[in-house]
Amino acid sequence: MERRTIFRGWLLPVAFVLPQLLLTFFFFLWPAGQAIYASMTRQDAFGIRTQFVGAENFTDLFSDPLYLDSIRRTVVFSASVAVLSMAVALLLAVFADREIRGRGLYRTLLIWPYAIAPAIAAVLWVLLLHPQIGWIGHGLRALGIHWDYKLDGAQAMLAVILASAWKQVSYNFIFFLAGLQSIPRAVIEAARMDGARGWRRFRTITFPLLAPTTFFLIVVNVVYAAFDTFGTIRALTRGGPGKATETLVYKVYVDGVENQNLGSSSAQSVVLMLAVILLTAIQFRYMGRKTER
Amino acid sequence: MMASLKLEGLRKSFGATKVLHGIDLELASGEMLVIVGASGCGKSTLLRLVAGLEEPTAGRIVLDGRDVANLDPAERDIAMVFQNYALYPHMSVFDNMAYGLKIRRLSTAEIRKRVEEAADMLGLRPLLDRKPRQLSGGQRQRVAMGRAIVRHPKLFLFDEPLSNLDAKLRVTMRAEIKRLQRRMGVTSLYVTHDQVEAMTLGDRLLVLHQGVPVQLATPMEVFERPADIYVAGFIGAPAMNLLPARLAAGGTAAQLDAGPLVPFADGRRAGADGMKLTVGIRPEHVALVAEGGLALQVDLVEPLGSETVLIGRLPDGEMLSIKLAGAAPPEETVHVAIPPPNLHVFDAATGLRLEPRG
């Protein structure tokens, strides 16, 4: 049943909505508008004169090999983070879904990493992976592997992928666990009666029934990896060595804040904004269709 | 494939809670046994033990000469029809039925043949490409049946398969299940709380009460000679009237607390005069008399069309229901008599049926 309250007049409803509208305006619409405007301007080297250049920043961007490299890097990074964090989360969720002793504690502990700030999480990983003081880094070197993510680009990428994926496992775990628990027990039991066991039952029954959850998480994880990992990368590698871990979001920061190229940096953030809008639209459309049936 | 089933001393506890207190049971090949009881009596647990979905605390489950009690369901060759059908929502009707066969690595041709055979038997042929959500409740029920049939299992298990259907469909499907089971001759265990299903479907009934088997007999025997007060009250609708009484006249009659002395038509019962009894009489056996007998203050009239149920109070406050052919008399007080041949006699202390001596 739909519950609806009818307000008389307009003052009260406006008062209810106003705080959210103000937040949206000051923290989203205004900066977004400024970014869009700035993306179509160019400043001289001293920031004295600003000139309107239309779409030139964008066309420059897509003909810049450094930018295209960063896109490629971001795709690899996002896909790796999404796959790794979802796979680990799904495995943990399958275990947590079973009847085991201490299940409550196990679940609670798994949710903790989500509550940790990205920079703190990154510091934890620094302490683990550092070639000299980190025990993983130290151990790898003891095994004869030349581990130094501050010098080796591939190792640096691996480190930021690990740290970013680890932080997202909790979130994915919660959704996968909820998804698993919403599968009717009887359906799983019917499969058992039909003779399906272990991996086969998971592959043919459980996993297909998790499809809506999985799709939702793919979008969320890609968005997270692509746009929400600045803090982790900043604390762990600062985009380096070289540009080895400079994803699109990190590049916005480097170009805008460090290199003071506001026009290009703004153009890049507008591109990212469009990407987020696109991903969100895909997700809403798909979820909308799911709920209609 | 026909198989016999034997349960020996089957027990189940969940923690400290005892759910089943030792079930011994033997099913002949091709027999349909209905397990009936109120909710919480352990009947579903019993079925799940046989299925292999729960592990027994003690006891043996011998299927076709082999103890399967500790085997995975996959190794038991048993098919089960679930209460809420439990169809695989992401698979077509065909794939739902074919799933168990694919796992058993049957050839594609054999799978197709078996599924189509079952589909024809159940009238599902035009629906094979549909998904479960595109089916009505009755059609889903058929698919669940089909999924069990195609397996050609040693044993069918039915867990209240009709309880989610509307009344009319339930009657049709009930008849269909009986026909199919007869035709295929597969040994079956059928769990229900519905006594009409139990009476109509079972070759034999097992009445469970709080995890204890109280009676195992043919439906008519259970109806005509209930083993104790629980069975007497559970089987038959409206429920049997149970009236307090005492043994009298040297064990040849019951002195009802409500007044009359009813002689036993079938012989005397053991026990001293004055022993507390519970006397049962089915509502359809209570007779209306013009005068005399017991006065019944009518509280409620339930017309059912071809018959009418009257529920009222005897002078001592005991409830009594009567089932009459045709319409109810208009009076607020009617006179009833209890015909001796239809009396059931139970020991009030133990609840057990008292049979005539020798």
Do B173 and B66 lie in one domain? The reply is yes
What type of residue is B231? V
What range does the domain containing A172 cover? 65-292
Q: Burial of A108 by CB count in 10 Å (0-12 exposed, 13-18 middle, 19+ buried)?
A: exposed
Residue A83 CA to residue B145 CA, distance in Å, equals 40
Query: What's the CATH number where B279 sits?
Result: 2.40.50.140
pTM for the model stands at 0.78
Give the pLDDT of residue A293. Answer: 38
Residue of B357 and A173 predicted with greater confidence: A173
Last residue of a domain, one of B231, B256, B290: B231
Q: Burial of B89 by CB count in 10 Å (0-12 exposed, 13-18 middle, 19+ buried)?
A: middle
Across the interface, whether the CB atoms of A187 and B88 are under 8 A apart is answered: yes
Percent of chain B scored above 70 by pLDDT?
99
Q: What domain count does chain A have?
A: 1
Do B24 and B47 lie in one domain? The reply is yes
Q: Does A255 fall in a domain?
A: yes
Q: Does A42 fall in a domain?
A: no
Give the range among A255-259, B72-76, B79-83 with minimum mean pLDDT: A255-259
Give the pLDDT of residue A292. Answer: 41
Q: Is B51 on the interface with A (CB under 8 A)?
A: yes
B139-192 pLDDT, tens digit each: 898 899 899 989 888 899 999 988 888 888 888 889 888 888 888 888 999 999
Residue A42 pLDDT > 80: no
CA nearest to A32, candidates A269, A285, A277 = A269
What range does the domain containing B278 cover? 239-347
Last residue of a domain, one of B184, B212, B231: B231
Minimum CA–CA partner of B74 in chain A? A195
A87-106 pLDDT, tens digit each: 999 998 888 877 666 777 77
Q: Is B47 on the interface with A (CB under 8 A)?
A: no
Q: Does B191 fall in a domain?
A: yes
Q: Mutation test of the interface with chain A: which of B82, B91, B95, B96, choosing the one with the most A Cβ atoms within 10 A? A: B82
Query: What's the CATH number where A78 sits?
Result: 1.10.3720.10
Q: Residue A81 forms beta bridges with which residues?
A: none
Last residue of a domain, one of B231, B256, B277: B231
| Residues contacting A229, CB < 8 A, separation 6+ | A77, A81, A118, A160, A164, A247, A249
Residue A68 pLDDT > 50: yes
Q: What domain count does chain B have?
A: 2
Q: Does B354 fall in a domain?
A: no
Give the pLDDT of residue A58. Answer: 77
Q: Mutation test of the interface with chain A: which of B14, B47, B99, choosing the one with the most A Cβ atoms within 10 A? A: B99
Query: What's the CATH number where B147 sits?
Result: 3.40.50.300
B44-79 pLDDT, tens digit each: 999 999 998 988 898 889 988 888 888 888 888 899
Do B266 and B213 lie in one domain? The reply is no
Do B77 and B193 lie in one domain? The reply is yes
Does the ipTM surpass 0.90? Answer: no
Q: Does B48 fall in a domain?
A: yes
Across the interface, whether the CB atoms of A190 and B86 are under 8 A apart is answered: yes
Do B219 and B270 lie in one domain? The reply is no
Q: Does B252 fall in a domain?
A: yes
Confidence tier at A240 by pLDDT (50, 70, 90): confident
> In which residue are the tokens 């509280």 written?
B299
Residue B47 CA to residue B35 CA, distance in Å, equals 9
| Residues contacting A2, CB < 8 A, separation 6+ | none
Do B142 and B286 lie in one domain? The reply is no
